[in-house]
Structure 1
Amino acid sequence: MGKLLIYGSTLFCSVMMLVGCKNEVLPKPSSQLRLNYPIADYVAFENNCPFTFNMNSDAKIKEDKECGFSINYPKMKATIYLTYKPVNGNIDKLLRDAQKLTYEHVIKADDILEQPFINSEKKVYGMFYKVSGNAATNSQFYATDSVKHFLTGAVYFYAKPNFDSIMPAADYIRNDMQTLMETLKWK
């Protein structure tokens, strides 16, 4: 009986040590994912189309059709789509279509900020749209000389539109789009 009592108390002490010797559980400190992108290096892009612009040298450009382009950012899973249309007395329709495209995102957008763009020297006039929230695109623009040329651009990410997750990449590409618009020249 004495051996059983010693065995029982040893077993009890062992179980208590296993249960009682847990490390104190502490919550992990909050942190954020840090995404670093290289400082953009811009290069001139020219071809047979009636316009030129500067673009990020890290992006890959592909001509689609009728002077439309896809500027791809493979590391960010994003593409800027550029669409060119000649103006043939249809400037009002082109402007309405460009504005309509932007405001179709109002359902998912928290806010749409319009930034007018005027470069009288190069005869480039337009609007840059910054779309906040979980919309499919968060940056769009149109540019025109009001007489011959009309260019639209929009960025799309190949991921579920969760603005908080893609914000660093969206800001980086937004800067590239603004540079593209600011350096746009008609031929």
Structure 2
Amino acid sequence: METSFKHIIGLAFIFSTLLFTSCKDDVLPKPSSQLRLDYAVAEYAAFENHCPLTFDMNSDAVIKEKGDCGFTITYPKMKATIYLTYKTVNGDIDKLLGDAQRLTYEHVIKADDILEQPFINDDNKVYGMFYKVGGNAATNSQFYATDSIKHFVTGSVYFYAKPNFDSIMPAEDYIRNDMQRLMETLKWK
């Protein structure tokens, strides 16, 4: 009987050891996930002040004048800013165009590609170029607009984050649409 009792104790010990060691959670690899960034549908309002231009801008953005009719349009939730610079054309349209194009192509080192989209609005006498810069460049969207005689505006968006296009792509798409709307609704006074 002693042998069977020792045998039962031994089996009970083995069983309890297996029971307690097998009850811990199994480590399973989790599937990789991606951050989902959804933004509210943009609502636009006309912006006008003492400067010689008007345009539509996103109601969620915050605009501040920097002086000389230059503006910052900030998107606090996206940690991004659109910088608008206004200049009066004084017979130097070629220099202004060259500077705007050079600013865009300085990003060629980090850019995968640069897509140029010409813009023509004969009714409001607004002509320009919209640039979509692909890849991990510091800015992914830029534009210039002019009437070639008196007014010249440049715009570019910058994010306050390390340029990693994959992670900022939803915000970049959202703000790019706002910049295109701004350019398309631009009017001179």
Give TM-score, length-normalised by structure 2: 0.91
Structure 2 counterpart of 1:175, from 157, 174, 177: 177
Segment drifting more, 8-17 vs 158-167: 8-17
- The equivalent residue for 1:34 is 36
- The equivalent residue for 1:79 is 81
Cα displacement (A) at 1:128 = 0.2
CA distance in 2, matches of 1:185, 1:143: 10
Q: Which amino acid aligns with 2:111?
A: A
Cα displacement (A) at 1:166 = 0.8
**Residue 141 (str. 1) matches residue 143 (str. 2):** yes
Structure 1 counterpart of 2:161, from 159, 162, 167: 159
Cα displacement (A) at 1:30 = 4.7
Cα displacement (A) at 1:56 = 0.5
Measured against aligned partners, the alpha-carbon deviations of 1:35-57 in whole angstroms (never above 9, x if no partner) come to: 21111111110111111101011
How many residues are paired up? Answer: 187
Q: Which amino acid aligns with 1:45?
A: F
Corresponding residue SS for 2:134: strand
- The equivalent residue for 2:126 is 124
Q: Quick check: which has more Rg, 1 or 2?
A: 2
- The equivalent residue for 1:93 is 95
Corresponding residue SS for 2:11: helix
Q: Give the CA RMSD over aligned residues.
A: 1.9
- The equivalent residue for 1:48 is 50
Q: Which amino acid aligns with 2:21?
A: V
Cα displacement (A) at 1:31 = 3.9
Report the identity percentage: 75
Q: Which amino acid aligns with 2:119?
A: F
